[in-house]
Structure 1
Amino acid sequence: MISKKQEITADFALVIVALVWGVTFLPMAKALQTNGVFTLLFWRFLIASILMVLISLKFIKKIDIKGIKYGLIVGVFLFFGFALQTFALKYTLSSTVAFITGLVVVFVPFLMWAIFKLNIKFHSYLGAIFAAVGLYILCDGDLGFGLGELLSLVCAFAYAFEIILAGYYVKKCEIFIMVTTEFIVVAVLSFICAIIFEGSYLPVLDSAFIWAVGITATFATVFAFFVQNIAQRYTSSVKTALILTLEPVSAGFIGYYFGAEILSTWQIFGAFIILVGILISEIGSYFFETIVNKKRLKR
């Protein structure tokens, strides 16, 4: 039985993850000016895989076949999510990519119902609606139909499946094995695509590449994905997707303050609406649990 303290701690950890991911959008966008999408992803996840293997050696006592199997499945969706998102950064603003990718919060509840037939609580739907409205406002009410926006939308679906499947599998296997396998899958697929589509996996070793790969491999990959997978043992996939909408909020402000990208007062208001959606889900979860516990006590 998961306690409320464990759930709140997991939710707070996901907030940190979302903020870390938001910070990485601008460095990745700058690195893409001189390096290919798959080259960047290959080196990011190769370094992350090596670090994860070294960390795992201390904790793993035996190989978990389930962890490898689940990691392979989740890793494929993770690869498509990252590849599509990184490609999108070539065709539109980093803040726009972040905002549209955040629509994952809308997809997850319905996919959870469609795949696992799980009943989603009303406050989760309400929080998702607020977040979706906030994302629309953040996009200034104009999502467009450009290639960058389309890639971002498909990316959101890929991430939705990654969140749902990770939340389901992480409770059934060794987490170190699963996460390490995910990273290796993304690194291998990125290497293959770099050779096929970019002609080489060797990067342009400029400051933008070193900075982007350094910060994303360590903080945004090893730290963030490991924390996300642990947190999903103690909170729902729907709430995970909702909290991770803070990623486009932080990305938008980073793009505004450090990347000379423009955010209007209306867009800032959209960020506020997203926060309201997260609070509705969090507070709603608390009150729902309280009501359930009171009913149990009366019995």
Structure 2
Amino acid sequence: MKITELRADILLILTAIIWGATFLPMATATVTNGVFVLLFWRFLITFFIMVLIAYKFSSKLDFKAIKYGLILGIFLFVGFSSQTFAFKFAQTANVAFISGLNVAIVPFVVYAFFKEKISIYAYIGVALGCVGLYFLSDPSAGFTKGEALSVVCAFAWAFHIVFTSHFARKCELFTLLATQFIVIVALSAIFANVFDGGINPTLDYNFYKAMVISVIFASIFGFIMMGTMLRLTTPVKAALIFTLEPVSAGILGYFIGGETFGMMQIIGAVIIISAILISEIGTIKSKQA
């Protein structure tokens, strides 16, 4: 079955919801394990699984995919490490919401590096997405170290989304993914030895839960979907869809983690969903014109 842009967007929506669901388990795991220890084991396991997938479905070694994967791996490491560290200093929902501001950064990265024109519907969607993220955030909490790290994460995610969309069209996907994962493993090992005293994890229930959820659902399924579907849709629309991540994280943080999720945040979630619908309808209308 041929995957259309609409189906690709629906699968990215599912990916965003799954990614949001991993925020709380990862945040809980940071209580007993260092950030870089968690990243090391998560992506080491993911790397070996992805190598098996690449061996099964790839006919030859794609050196271009390795080169691109090294670049994407750096963006991904900065994004994950800053975001996971932010969990130590801010609420799960706040970290997710501010990280989601990559939606406002992506159009500028797209234009700066690839000179691609952005449709008016995309701009409207991005603007509404930012408004929704503002409502979802908690300004009364102040701008702490956690919020600052989340801003760093937002920039890293923006570059990763844009360049994944560009690179995934030019090389073999599974090798690309495996390479960026091993970059995270290597950098996490270095930083874990500096900041966490080594890579040995605390093998408690929260660690195992975080590993299962983050490896199988977020890393294997999520990144395969991201790399595949970004070949079929635009990075601007993908970034807008990924603003559903904090919505998912906020809902789970409220019902499971005991975090606050008031009327303003509900309004923000509705605005974000509306922004995605406007962007999607705009895409359909522009194709019919």
Q: TM-score by structure 1 length?
A: 0.95
Counterpart among 273, 276, 289 of residue 274 in structure 2? 276
Cα deviation for residue 29 of structure 1 reads: 0.7
Counterpart among 235, 243, 251 of residue 233 in structure 2? 235
Structure-2 change in CA distance of 1:245 and 1:100 (3 Å): same
8 Å contact 1:143–1:149 — kept in the other structure?
no
Q: Distance in 1 between matches of 2:10 and 2:188?
A: 31
Alignment deviations for residues 50-98 of structure 1 (CA, whole Å, 9 cap, x no partner): 1111111111111001000000000110000000000000000001000
- After superposition, residues 5-154 of structure 1 pair within 5 angstroms as 6-142=4-140, 144-154=142-152
Equivalences, count: 289
- After superposition, residues 252-291 of structure 1 pair within 5 angstroms as 252-291=250-289
Cα deviation for residue 143 of structure 1 reads: 6.8
Q: Distance in 2 between matches of 1:107 and 1:127?
A: 13
- Tell me the secondary structure at the aligned position of residue 58 of structure 1: helix
Unaligned 5+ runs, structure 1: 292-299
Q: Distance in 1 between matches of 2:246 and 2:78?
A: 19
- Tell me the secondary structure at the aligned position of residue 204 of structure 1: coil
- Amino acid paired to 2:287: E
- Amino acid paired to 2:144: G
Q: Distance in 1 between matches of 2:174 and 2:70?
A: 13
228-237 vs 109-118, greater mean Cα deviation: 109-118
- Amino acid paired to 1:31: A
Counterpart among 191, 208, 211 of residue 209 in structure 2? 211
Alignment deviations for residues 124-170 of structure 1 (CA, whole Å, 9 cap, x no partner): 01000001000000114447321000000110000000000000000
Q: Distance in 2 between matches of 1:188 and 1:54?
A: 19
- Tell me the secondary structure at the aligned position of residue 232 of structure 2: coil
Alignment deviations for residues 226-268 of structure 1 (CA, whole Å, 9 cap, x no partner): 1100000000000110001000000000000000001111110
Q: Distance in 2 between matches of 1:211 and 1:174?
A: 31
Mapped pair 1:223 → 2:221: yes
Q: TM-score by structure 2 length?
A: 0.98
- Tell me the secondary structure at the aligned position of residue 238 of structure 1: helix
8 Å contact 1:91–1:148 — kept in the other structure?
yes
RMSD across aligned C-alpha pairs, in angstroms? 1.3
- Amino acid paired to 1:13: L
Q: Which runs of 4+ in 1 moved over 4 A?
A: none
Structure-2 change in CA distance of 1:231 and 1:5 (3 Å): closer
Alignment deviations for residues 13-44 of structure 1 (CA, whole Å, 9 cap, x no partner): 10011010000010011100000000000000
Q: Distance in 1 between matches of 2:142 and 2:256?
A: 25
- Amino acid paired to 1:265: M
Percent identity over the alignment is 51
Q: Distance in 2 between matches of 1:117 and 1:130?
A: 23
Q: Distance in 2 between matches of 1:142 and 1:112?
A: 33
Q: Distance in 2 between matches of 1:8 and 1:181?
A: 29
- Tell me the secondary structure at the aligned position of residue 34 of structure 1: coil
Task: Report the structure number with the largest CA radius of gyration.
Answer: 1
Q: Distance in 2 between matches of 1:51 and 1:118?
A: 35
Q: Distance in 2 between matches of 1:70 and 1:5?
A: 25
Corresponding residue for residue 164 of structure 2: 166
Q: Distance in 2 between matches of 1:34 and 1:213?
A: 14
